Structure 1
C-alpha cells in the first residue's frame, strides 16, 4: 500500500488539475515535455532526483531538432548562462564514455570544450562561458546548477490517466520523499521509485541449497528471493555480487519459468533481464529457475531448480 500511495504522491506533484504537467512545455513535433528547474540550483544527482520525483528524467538530447528546442527553452527561462544548466549526460561509470541516465550512449555532439582532456568533471551542463553561444561542458557533479527535466512523449497522457484514478493524499512532502531516497542510497541500499520502498540485499552464503530452500531462508530473513525490475536495480545487485568474495560463484534469484515465459514471485512478468548469450534455452518446457553465475560475469542462467546455489534475498527496510 505504501508503494502505491508514494506513486500517487509523484503524480500529484506532476498534475494540479489533471489538465497539464505543471510548468512543462510540450514539443508538438515529438510529444516530449520539458521543464527548466530554475527555482533552485542543485547538484547533478539532486537534480536527477528532483526530475524523477516528477515522473521525468534529466533531459537527454537525441536529435539536433531536440537540442534546438531545449536550447530555446533555456534561453526563454532567463536563467544565468554562466550558472550552467544540467542535462542527463555523465561519464562517471566509465571515463570518456558519456551516457544518458537510461544508460544509452550520447551520440549527438554539441561539446564546446574538448572533454577528452578533462577526466575529473563527469556531468554534462549547458553553459556559455561568457559568450552567447550555448553548448555542452563537463562539470563537477557536485557543482550546483539549474536543470532541464524531460517527460518522453506518450508518458504524459499515461500519467494523466493514472492521476484520474485516485485523488488520494498521504501527506508525504517532496522533501520527505527525497530525504528517504537519499538516506536509503547512502546506506548502499536500493530505493525503488516505482514502489516507494527501500530494499537491502543479502547473500546467504552459509550453504548451497535448492531454490525452494533458499526461498524459505529468505522468508526467515523477512524478505524473499530477489526480483530484479530494472537496470538500475540490477547494477546495485551485481555490484554486491562482485564484492561478495571468491566463495560465492552462483546465486538464486526469485524468477522461474520455461517455454519462453518467466515471472517473479510477486506474480509480475520478467520485463528486464540480463541473460547470458544463448539463454534461456527456448526448447525447455519444464520449470526452471534464474541463477546468475560468476563464471559468466554474473549473467543470468536458467537452471534446474533442484540444483544447489546460494540464495540472494531482497528485504524491505525502513530508509
Structure 2
C-alpha cells in the first residue's frame, strides 16, 4: 500500500487519483494507528512524517478509526476511517531495474615495427530502459599494442603496399622496407535497445467538471454538485423549495455511481435522515423524480415502498440498511440534499 514521504510525492499520487475519480471516490493509503492509538505509521513500520489530514482529523476520541482514507469530495484530504470498510486502494511498486548492454571489447592489434595507433573504440548508441532512464555503457580500454620485434628482417619490397585506413588516416611508412599492414577487425555493433510498451492513460472527465466532488452524468453530459442542508429541518415540499432557491432541485438518483457519491457526502456530513426527490402523490404506487423520470432502484428497504396511500415521499435512512429508502408522509421534518447542475 502507498507510503507518502513528501509533498511532491503526494501531489503525484493525487494527480493519479484525480484521473480515476469517476470510478474510485474513496481510496485507502498505507497508514494506520491500529498498534498504538494516536501513533500513525506506514505499512513498513516507518512513522507518518508527512500528512494532509482533513481539518479536525484524525479523531482523538474514536479508537475504532485506525486506517487512512482519502476522499475526492474533500479535495483528496486524509481522514481516519474504520479499517474493515471495503474501499479501493492505491499501491506503491518498486521501479524496474535498469537493463544495460555489455560494452564491446576491442581485439588485440598487431602493428609493424613502427607503432600503429589502435582506432578509437566503437561508440554504442543510447540504450533505453523501462520506464524512462537512458544509460550509455562505458567504452572499454583498448589492449596494449603488440609490436613486431625489431630483430625481424622485412623482405625487400620495391614499392609500398596499399595503405589500409583506420578510423583516422594512417600514413604509409618510408619505402622500400614496409612490411604488410595488419588491421583491427571491423567495428562491433551493439544490440538493439529494448522497446518500452505503450503507455496506457486512463480517461478523464470533461474539463468543465470542477474538482470538488462533483459527479459527471454520462447519460446527460452534465456535471452536478450536491449540497446537504443542515440549517433547518423541513417537510418534503419545503425541502424542494429551498433546493430550487439554491439553483437546483431535490436530489434524484439515476445510477449506482451517483448514489455512491451522494451516500459518501451524507456520511461525511453525519446526516442520518434526509429527503430525496422521489414521490408517488400523482399516481399511487408510481414513483417518479421531480423531473418526471421514473424511480428505478434497488435501494428500497425490504418491504418498501408500502401500500399505504399516505406515504408518498422518499426518505433515505442511514440507520436502516446503510441508507435504505423508505416511503413516509411528506409532512415529516428531515434534512435536505440538493442536486445542482453546473
Q: TM-score, normalised by structure 1?
A: 0.44
Q: Considering Cα pairs closer than 8 Å and 6+ residues apart, tell me whether 1 or 2 has the greater RCO.
A: 1
Bigger helix share: 1
Q: TM-score, normalised by structure 2?
A: 0.41
